[in-house]
Amino acid sequence: MSRVARTVVALGVLLALGQTSCVQVHAYERGRLAHHTMVPDDGASPSLDHVYAVHEGASGGDLQATAGCGCN
């Protein structure tokens, strides 16, 4: 099995495990989940994100286009 296939299978297993670990949460119980700090990227600083992208050689690999480094 290729590395990519193994990765896809592992992700599938993770998703399945994650689904079984979730409990039902009714709409009226989602007050805390709706808090702005629970939302990924809420309040993210574009300038700080850009600093990380320039400082860390492992940046990238996501869909957010932060094109150009301003540093070349």
Partner 1 sequence: MGAIDRQATARWPLGAWIAASIALAWPSTSRADPSRPGLLDAITKKARGEIAFYGDTDSVQVFTSAWKATVDNPVSGWSANGSYLVDVVSAASVDIVSTASSHWTEVRQAGTLGANYKPGAIGVGITGAVSREPDYLSLSAGGRLSFDVHDKTVLPTVGYSYGHDTAGRTGTPFSVYSLDLTRHAFDLGSEFVLDRSTTLSLNASFLLERGDQEKPYRFLPLFSPAVAKAIEPGASIALVNNERLPGRIAEHLPNRRNRFALSGRFARRLARATFIVNERVYADDWGLKASTTDMHLVFDVGGRLEIAPHFRGHVQSSVDFWRLAYSAVVSTDGVLDVPLYRTGDRELSALSSGTLGIGFRYRVLPLATPWSLVVGLRSEVMATIFHDALFVRDRKAYLNAVDAEIEF
Least Å distance between CB 27 and partner 1? 9
CB of residue 1 to partner 1, shortest distance in Å: 16
Which amino acid appears at position 33 of this protein? L
Residues lying near partner 1 in the complex (CB under 8 A)? 7, 11, 14-15, 18-19, 21-25, 29-30, 32-33, 35, 37-38, 40, 43, 45-48, 50-52, 54-58, 60-63, 65-72
How far, in Å, CA of 52 to CA of 62, rounded?
Answer: 14
Q: Which is nearer to partner 1, 5 or 71 (CB)?
A: 71
**Measured between alpha carbons, how far apart are the two ends of the chain, in Å?**
40
Q: Is 57 helix (H, G, I), strand (E, B) or coil?
A: coil
Query: Cβ of residue 25: shortest distance to partner 1, in angstroms?
Result: 5
Residues 6 or more apart whose CB falls under 8 angstroms from that of 50 comprise 66, 70
